[in-house]
Amino acid sequence: MTDLLPFVADLPLVDHHCHGVVTRDVPRADFEAMLTEADAPSPLGTSLFDSLIGLAVRARCAPVLDLPKHASAEAYLQRRAELGAAEVARRFLRGTGTTDFLLDGGFLPDALTTTPEFAGLAGARAHDVVRLEQVAEAVIGGSTAAGFAAAFAGELEKRAATAVGLKSIAAYRAGLELAGERPSPSEVEAAAGRWLAAGGTRLADEVLHRHLVFTGLDLGLPVQFHVGYGDADVDLHRCDPLLLTGLLRATRERGVPILLLHNYPFHRNAAYLAQVFEHVFVDAGLITHNAGFRRRPCWPSFLEIAPFGKVLFSTDAFGLAELYHLGTALFRQGLSDFLRAALDADALSEVDAVRMCALVGHENAQRIYRLEHV
């Protein structure tokens, strides 16, 4: 990382979408399972360390644990166990240069740090993002079809009181083809009735996901959407952000930000939405660390059409402390390479380069999530 532009190396970051870290030690199989979106190494393939992210762990993370670059996977995991999960987390998180982490605590919360624990490990501020579906799934059991909307709104308002944003995982459940209008109360009641009749467990209903989003927007809090790349539960062809066009058109007058997360491999489609809809913002989390040293495609593709004021930084790191480190370091590397090439071509001035970095690195997130008011 000695070749970073100084103002990129020192750029304070707001990681506007990530998750907690695991606090227990992880054996190799679990480590590989958390490294990518695969559930586990394939019996027909080879180790998941044989991947760009695996190589990146060995190249960029090993030195943080006092090992030589390119240490073997075995040596790496042994040293990791030796140091213990807490020390590993501290080293990686504190080296990121991140001032604020926005944590989605809605997935496997029992296995991960709480928000205060995370802040302690990282030596930084940590904020909550509330997963809409988790709230709905918490209230449906004690509710009726007719009472669901009020019960959800009440519980969401309570949980959101100390949060900086909300998140929809409609992409994982019903896909992103959400209709371009708020569902009526009777539609919501009917859908809640169907859900209750089906057992009221895992929410997967287009009407209800949509209702959750509109209810969230009522609170004026930014709403994040999982978009694109995820694990094998995703039907990726139903996760193209363009499927949200109708809903974005219907919500653009509200002045509430909508954030399209990850977006891979639909990042150009997402960038289009960020250009033409005033309330849409994008990031390139998740792919940044997965793609390892193949780090260049996402940032420049976004910037082809998305203005700098509409692009945010995130890692989408989950579980493994290495992923915060890699997501951050590879983001800095990509941003630096991109700007260095532009500066070399005299395509922008250094003053502008510094300003663009501040926007993407933290200013856009501070403005959108009103972090100065927290």
Q: How many residues does the chain have?
A: 374
Residue number, 55 or 86, with CB nearest to a copy of itself: 55
**H helix or E strand, kind and range, residue 336:** helix 321-344
Q: Does 59 bind a copy of itself (CB under 8 A)?
A: yes
| Binding letters toward a copy of itself, positions 176-215, x by CB under 8 A | ----------------------------------------
Residue closer to a copy of itself, measured from CB, 140 or 330: 330
> Do residues 137 and 202 touch, judged by C-beta distance below 8 A?
yes
Three-class SS state of 373: helix
Copy the structure tokens of residue 281.
Answer: 């913002």
- How many amino acids of this chain bind a copy of itself (CB under 8 A)? 78
Q: Which lies closer to a copy of itself via its Cβ, residue 69 or residue 158?
A: 69
Q: Name the burial class of residue 331, with classes exposed (0-12), middle (13-18) and buried (19+) by CB atoms within 10 angstroms of its CB.
A: buried
CB of 29 to a copy of itself, least distance (A): 13
Q: Which helix (H) or strand (E) holds 86?
A: helix 85-94
Type of residue found at 230: G
Cα(206)–Cα(65) distance, integer angstroms: 46
Amino acid present at 343 = L
CA geometry: angle at 267 spanning 335 and 274, to 5°?
A: 90
Interface stretch with a copy of itself, choices 12-20, 102-110, 117-125, 248-256 (CB under 8 A): 248-256
**Site map 291..330 versus a copy of itself, x via CB under 8 A:** xxxx--x--xx-xxxxxxxx--------------------
Nearer to a copy of itself, 157 or 278 (CB): 278
Residues 69-108 that bind a copy of itself (CB under 8 A): 69-70
| CA–CA separation, 254 and 180 (whole Å) | 14
Distance (Å, whole) CA 275 – CA 268: 11
Options 107-115, 122-130, 138-146, 339-347: segment touching a copy of itself (CB under 8 A) = 339-347
* Joined tokens for residue 287: 């792919």
Q: Is 64 in the site for a copy of itself (CB under 8 A)?
A: no
Q: Is 52 in the site for a copy of itself (CB under 8 A)?
A: yes
Q: What CA–CA distance (Å, rounded) separates 130 from 142?
A: 20
- C-beta closer to a copy of itself: residue 9 or 52: 52
| Span near a copy of itself by CB under 8 A; candidates 13-21, 108-116, 123-131, 239-247 | 239-247
Cα separation, 270 vs 363, in Å, equals 20
Name the CA dihedral angle for 135, 141, 142, 145, rounded to a multiple of 10 degrees: 90
Confirm or reject binding of residue 368 to a copy of itself (CB under 8 A): yes
Residue type, 279: H
Instruction: Using the rule CB under 8 A, give the single segment among 77-85, 126-134, 267-275, 312-320 that binds a copy of itself.
Output: 267-275
Q: Which stretch binds a copy of itself (CB under 8 A): 13-21, 202-210, 276-284, 316-324?
A: 276-284
Q: Does 231 bind a copy of itself (CB under 8 A)?
A: yes
Does position 55 bind a copy of itself by CB under 8 A?
yes
Asked if 161 and 219 touch (Cβ cutoff 8 Å), the reply is: no
Member of 214, 225, 272, 313 binding a copy of itself (CB under 8 A): 272
Stretch in the footprint of a copy of itself (CB under 8 A) among 131-139, 164-172, 185-193, 275-283: 275-283
Q: How far is the CB of 374 from a copy of itself (least distance, A)?
A: 18
Q: Is 89 helix (H, G, I), strand (E, B) or coil?
A: helix
